[in-house]
Amino acid sequence: MTKLSVNINKLATLRNSRGGNMPNLIKSAKDIESFGAQGITIHPRPDERHIKYQDARDLKKVVTTEYNIEGNPIPKFIDLVLEVKPTQVTLVPDAEDAITSNAGWDTIKHKDFLVDIIQTFKENDIRTSIFVDPNIEMVKGAADTGTDRIELYTESFAHDFALGRKAEGVKTFTEAAKKASELGLGINAGHDLNLENIQFFKENIPNLLEVSIGHALICESLYLGLENVVNMYLHRLK
């Protein structure tokens, strides 16, 4: 079964919009795990507009499933990850002012940079994953960095799926996943995956280990309830 890691950034955004501690991020993470999710993901940004760096520390004390921290490996982020030591760190090349992640790494251009950072994390027993587009050359480049896994950036798939181009949209992802497996890389995926497209994606991506879903899952939960939605995803990922 592909594991579901729930990104709780949107809950932090809601909390921060009014100050105080509602919704309670720590309780929410524990509840999400109790509903069956196999992981919690956060993406702290330098301005802490949703997840705060202290949240990362506090969550470490309560998360009992896989704990994934993703972000751009600027010095402040690297220091946080080395302090918290999550299960996995996912490296994302987003600008500091980006609303959300919008591209994978150029693993060839940034190879030396990624090699050094990945080695540091692995020396501290933190599993590494890097955000990549479904491009065979970028997957090959990822393997050369020493990373444990890649996370396929799935926005283009979700866009094509919504337009009725399911087969065309997933093809490059299937090919990228096959190449990643050949090269010994684990495969994660995330960005714009939702209840409508997740099962088709899962069925067409060989050896898909984990998906990270936040925005869509929280939006769907407004209508259907958080516990119900978590279990709907788990059913589709079996």
Q: Out of 43, 66, 151, 220, which one is annotated catalytic?
A: 43
Q: Could you give the residue ranges of the DSSP H alpha helices within the chain? A: 9-18, 25-34, 53-60, 75-84, 111-123, 136-145, 155-162, 166-182, 198-204, 215-224, 226-237
Cα gap 35→17, rounded to integer Å: 26
Q: Supply the pLDDT for residue 97.
A: 55
Phi-psi bin for 128: left (phi > 0), alpha (psi -120 to 50), beta? beta
Cα gap 153→136, rounded to integer Å: 13
- CA 228 to chain centroid, in Å, comes to 21
Look at residues 33, 83, 24 and name the one whose alpha carbon lies nearest to residue 63. Answer: 33
Whether 70 sits among the annotated catalytic residues: the reply is yes
Whether 151 sits among the annotated catalytic residues: the reply is no
Q: Supply the pLDDT for residue 99.
A: 47
Work out the end-to-end distance of the chain between its first and last CA atoms, rounded to an integer number of angstroms. 5
Q: Supply the pLDDT for residue 103.
A: 79
Q: Where are the domains of the chain?
A: 3-237
Provide the residue-wise pLDDT of the chain in tens; the chain has 238 residues: 899 999 999 999 999 999 999 999 999 999 999 999 999 999 999 999 999 999 999 999 999 999 999 999 999 999 999 999 999 999 999 766 554 556 799 999 999 999 999 999 999 999 999 999 999 999 999 999 999 999 999 999 999 999 999 999 999 999 999 999 999 999 999 999 999 999 999 999 999 999 999 999 999 999 999 999 999 999 999 9
Residues in the chain: 238
Phi-psi bin for 157: left (phi > 0), alpha (psi -120 to 50), beta? alpha
Q: Out of 33, 151, 191, 220, which one is annotated catalytic?
A: 191
Q: Supply the pLDDT for residue 94.
A: 78
What is the second-level CATH architecture of the domain 3-237? Alpha-Beta Barrel (3.20)
CB 134 within 8 A of CB 175: yes
Cα gap 68→128, rounded to integer Å: 10
**68 bridge partner residues:** 41, 88
Whether 191 sits among the annotated catalytic residues: the reply is yes
Q: Out of 70, 151, 210, 220, which one is annotated catalytic?
A: 70
CB 134 within 8 A of CB 159: no
